[in-house]
A and B are shown apart, each in its own frame.
Chain A
C-alpha cells in the first residue's frame, strides 16, 4: 500500500528545478505529482512517478542526490471535515504526519493526498481499520493515466 517517493536535494537558485524535470522528461517519465519544500538557501523536491527505479537511475546519473521514501496515498472526502477525519484517526494512534501534499486529479467526490508518516506501516493499518481508503500504487497509476 506504500508508494515510493523520490526526494532530490536542490539549491534554491534559478534554473535548479528545471534540470531534474527536464532529465525525467527526456527519459519519457511523467511526474504524477510533486511538492517542493524550500528554505532561503536550499529545497527538497519530492516526486511520485510510476517507474521510480528508472527515474532514480536517471536522476542519479545526472548527479542528483536522491532519497527513496515510503509515502501513503489516501482518498479524502472532498467536503468540509474530510481531511480532519483522516487526521483524527491518525492522531489517535500517535502517528506523526511529517508532511502532506495533494494529487492534481480527483475521483468523483474524493481528493487524493500523499502523506509522509513517521510510521507508514502503522498508519496504513490504522487507516484501513477506520475505513479510510488507502490507494495502492497500481490503482493510483491507472487512475492517473485515465
Chain B
C-alpha cells in the first residue's frame, strides 16, 4: 500500500493543468496518514458512543469501543450504518452535539417521503469548505477567478458546499443557482466567469442553450468546470469539454457523509482522490460484505471521522465504484476512486453477470443520439435467466423499411452485448407504451421469484 517516494517520482506526470495543492495534508505520507486516521477514528467512535444512542447500542452489541480499536483493521469490527438506520431515527437521532452547536442543516433528497437531515457545526462547515477548496484548486481554481455556480442551493448540499469552497479559495462567486438557462449564458458572458459549477447534465443544458443563442465554445469565457451530484460518463465529459471549451473535473460526495468534498480529481484526471484524512473509505462486495478484491468494483462504505454534528460510521453509500490505491503522479497520497458506475439498488445479476440499467442506456446512446425510453425485463422460464429490453420507437428511429428496422434492432442487441457481455432480446415497442410513474421512468421489472446467488 505504501509506495516508496522514488516510485512516484519516476512516474511521469501527465497533467492537463498545473498541479497545485491546497493543503499539505493531501500529500501526507501514508504512514503518517494511517496514524492520523486511527487517532481520528478512535475519537469519532468515542464521541458517537457518548452522544448517539444508536451507536452506543450497536457498539455494545458488537462488543467494540474506542479503546478496543488497535489498528485500522479493527474498523471492520464496527457495525454498518444504513440509509434505513438514518430513516428510523428521523429527524435528528444521529445528532451528536447539543442543539445550540448546530450551525446548518442540509438534507438528502428523499425519493420517497421524508428527507434525511444532516447537521453541521460551525467547525463542520469550515472543514467542508476546505475539502471543497482542495478539489477546486486541484482542478484549476485560482483566487483571481470567477466561479459561476448553477447548482441548486437550499437543502441540497451541492450549491452551498461548492459556494463556500470557492470563497475559501478566495475566488469570486456568482451564486446563479439552477434554472432559467438562458439567464446563465448572459451571466457567464457578462461577468466573465472562468469556472462553471453544476451537475454534468445541467452543463450540457447550458451548452445547448449557448449554442442556440449562437455562442460557440470560443465565445464563452469559461476555462474549467467542476461537476458532480450525479453519475456521468467519459463520453459526457468529452461532450461538455467540446461544447463549452473547458476542462471538466469530476467530484464526489454525499450529504449523509458531508456533501461534495469526499473526493475529487487532480490534474492527472485518473480517478478522484479520496480525502482520507477525513474519511475512511472501504470498498466491499455488497453481497458478502467482505472487502472487494483490489481494484474490483464494490460498494463504497464511508466513515466520516471528523464530522462533529453527525459522525457517521461505516455508512453504506450504495454507490458502486473501484478504488485504486496505487500512487498518483500528482503527489496526493489519498487513494483514487473511479466514477460511480451504478447503485447497489440498481444492480441486476443476470446469468451471474452484474448489469446496470445505465449500461443499457449507454448501449442505446451508441445507437441513437439520445436514449429512448426502455424497460428491462428479466425472467427465468427454465434454468437460465432471460433478459429482454423493450425500446420505445420514436419518430426519429422509425423507418418504413423493414430491413432498417431489423438492422436497428440487431444493432441495439450488438451494442448491449459488447457492453454487458450478455445477449439481451430486444423488442421494439410502440411509442408511449412503457409505463412512466411520477415522471420518473421505471427501468426494470424482475419476474424471477427468488434469485439464487
Interface residues of A (CB under 8 A from B): 5, 7, 9-11, 16, 37, 39, 41-42, 44, 46, 63-67, 69, 98-99, 116
Contacts and interface: CB of A to CB of B under 8 A. Distances in A.
A63 B406 contact: no
Nearest to B402: A37
B395 A63 contact: no
A11 B429 contact: yes
Contacts of A63: 430-432
Given A9-B393, A42-B405, A44-B405, A67 B400 contact: yes
A11 B400 contact: no
Contacts of A10: 430
B430 A41 contact: no
Contact of B431 (A42, A46, A64, A98): A64
5 contacts: A5-B400, A42-B429, A63-B431, A65-B431, A99-B401
Given A42-B405, A44-B402, A116-B400, A65 B430 contact: yes
Interface of B: 393-395, 397-402, 405-406, 427-433
Contacts of B430: 9-11, 16, 63-65
Nearest to A43: B402
Contacts of A99: 401-402
Given A9-B431, A67-B400, A116-B400, 19 more contacts: A7-B398, A9-B398, A9-B428, A10-B430, A16-B430, A37-B402, A39-B402, A39-B406, A41-B428, A44-B405, A46-B400, A63-B432, A64-B430, A64-B431, A65-B394, A65-B398, A69-B400, A99-B402, A116-B401
A37 to B, nearest CB: 5
Contacts of A41: 427-428
Given A63-B432, A65-B430, A7 B406 contact: no
Contact of A67 (B399, B406, B429): B399
Instruction: Decide if the interface of chain B is mainly helix, strand, loop or mixed.
Output: loop
Given A9-B430, A11-B430, A41-B427, A67 B402 contact: no
Contacts of B428: 9, 11, 41-42
Given A10-B430, A63-B430, A65-B431, A98 B401 contact: yes
A111 to B, nearest CB: 23
A142 B401 CA distance: 29
B393 A65 contact: yes
Most buried by B among A41, A42, A44: A42
A115 to B, nearest CB: 13
Contacts of B427: 11, 41-42
Nearest to B395: A65
Contacts of A7: 398, 400
Nearest to B428: A42
Contacts of A39: 402, 406
Contacts of B406: 39
Contacts of A66: 395
Contacts of B402: 37, 39, 44, 99
B169 to A, nearest CB: 51
Contacts of A98: 401
A46 B400 CA distance: 8
A69 to B, nearest CB: 5
